[in-house]
Chain A
Amino acid sequence: AQSVTQPDIHITVSEGASLELRCNYSYGATPYLFWYVQSPGQGLQLLLKYFSGDTLVQGIKGFEAEFKRSQSSFNLRKPSVHWSDAAEYFCAVEGGATNKLIFGTGTLLAVQP
């Protein structure tokens, strides 16, 4: 069965520091992978997605993610975090013809001044 694991429930980084949020997936074939961000009291906003091709994907707000098939990972990175990046981040996998998304449990990011 498809699943997504986000090992870090909560991460705190200093403003200007680099960020990496981990995501591991379980899926038999090549998955479609997504990162969404949810700011407090807001809905979900798509940061980036991977369907195929180049394994390094650029997204909005300066985020990028790298698909590593050998590690079943799709980690999200940002070289310099801004205070406005404080939010909850969800990794998701979509597989098959149903377009259903399976979400990880999320990582809550706090940014220290």
Chain B
Amino acid sequence: SAVISQKPSRDICQRGTSLTIQCQVDSQVTMMFWYRQQPGQSLTLIATANQGSEATYESGFVIDKFPISRPNLTFSTLTVSNMSPEDSSIYLCSVIGQQETQYFGPGTRLLVL
């Protein structure tokens, strides 16, 4: 399976600010995904990030709020912009690894005050 790391692991931010989350994979992967897990809830896909093209966002998520970069096959960033307390969540990146299986990073725990 792919080894995925995320930075930061957790952060506390003030409303109105932005935070950029990094996702690093130990091997080249075509598809990367960003998910949000709000407190006490399940995971919801934010967007799919493919190298060399713009990210594809799911319904309810927009690029202005969650800009994504994918500069190469091992790295991606998700920015949570103009944060409000409702953005307090765990943000997870994932990749498609061997045998079409999706593997997840450890997550970034965000608290917005």
Do these two chains interact? yes
Q: For residues 7 through 66 of chain A, which have their beta carbon under 8 Å from a beta carbon of chain B? A: 32, 34, 36, 42-46, 49, 51
Q: Is the CB of B105 within 8 A of A103?
A: no
Contacts of A99 in B (CB 8 A): 31, 33, 48, 96, 100, 102
Closest approach, in angstroms, between the C-beta of A38 and any C-beta of chain B?
A: 9
Inter-chain contact total with CB atoms closer than 8 Å: 49
Sort chain A's interface into a size bin.
20 to 34
| 0/1 string, B62-104, CB within 8 A of A gives 1 | 0000000000000000000000000000001010100111111
Closest approach, in angstroms, between the C-beta of A14 and any C-beta of chain B?
A: 25
Q: Is the CB of B42 within 8 A of A51?
A: no
Q: Is the CB of B101 within 8 A of A43?
A: no
Q: Is the CB of A98 within 8 A of B48?
A: yes
Contacts of B103 in A (CB 8 A): 46
A58 to B99, CA, bound (A): 16
- Provided the pairs A100-B45, A104-B42, A105-B42 are in contact, do residues A51 and B105 lie with their beta carbons within 8 angstroms? no
A interface, CB within 8 angstroms of B: 32, 34, 36, 42-46, 49, 51, 90, 94, 98-101, 103-106
